[in-house]
Amino acid sequence: MRRKAIHFAGLLIPFFYYFFPEDKKSLAVVILSGVALVYFTSELLRFVYPPINRLLIMRFSALLRKDEHQKVTGSGYYLIGALLSIIFFSKMIAIVSMMFLIFGDFFAAVVGIKWGRTKLIRSKSLEGSAACFLSCLAISLPLLPPHVALVGAFIATLAELLPLKINDNLLIPILSGLTMHLISKL
């Protein structure tokens, strides 16, 4: 559960982006690109120098999945998803799509682990998926038109639920953001 709680550190990106003026979007992209560059440089060092990797695994083992010991962590996928969301979507859709990942994924895990009885796919439960959907809907309804919020929350829930090969830290903001972007144009 500690691993899921780290998602809340990801709130820093939509929080700070919210306060960027619309005409400074390129500055937000440059800053986040710099953060991503530092992050991926550290990931590269971790893979090239095994002692660094072992040290980081020892220090942060509670935050890493087993498969992340030799692969890019979920944070890297989130950084890419956040950056692409800011580049391609309107400000509010980008912010909402990032918050879908942060809150939807968290509540799906918490509710699914504690109360999940009706299994759907792999270890995912109906109760966890309902929590994901409702939390995404609660986030988006005050910020977006109802039809955009509803469809976006549904797509974010599907992205969290389905056993796709792409990391959900990338998939949730991109798929939900793209869907909300397209629906908002109708």
Q: Among all chains, which residue has been given the structure tokens 């991109």?
A: 174
- C-alpha neighbours within 13 Å on the C-beta side of residue 30: 5
What is the pLDDT, as a whole number, of residue 129? 98
pLDDT, tens digit, for every residue of 140-166?
999 999 999 999 999 999 999 999 889
At residue 86, does pLDDT exceed 70?
yes
Tell me the mean pLDDT in the region 122-128.
Answer: 92
Arithmetic mean of pLDDT over the chain = 92
Quickly state the pLDDT bin for 1 (edges 50, 70, 90): low
What is the pLDDT, as a whole number, of residue 66? 76
What is the pLDDT, as a whole number, of residue 65? 76
Quickly state the pLDDT bin for 13 (edges 50, 70, 90): very high
Higher pLDDT, 9 or 170: 170
Q: Helical H runs in the chain?
A: 2-5, 12-18, 25-48, 50-60, 74-88, 91-99, 105-115, 126-140, 146-161, 168-184
What is the pLDDT, as a whole number, of residue 78? 95
| Domain residue limits, the chain | 2-184
Quickly state the pLDDT bin for 116 (edges 50, 70, 90): very high
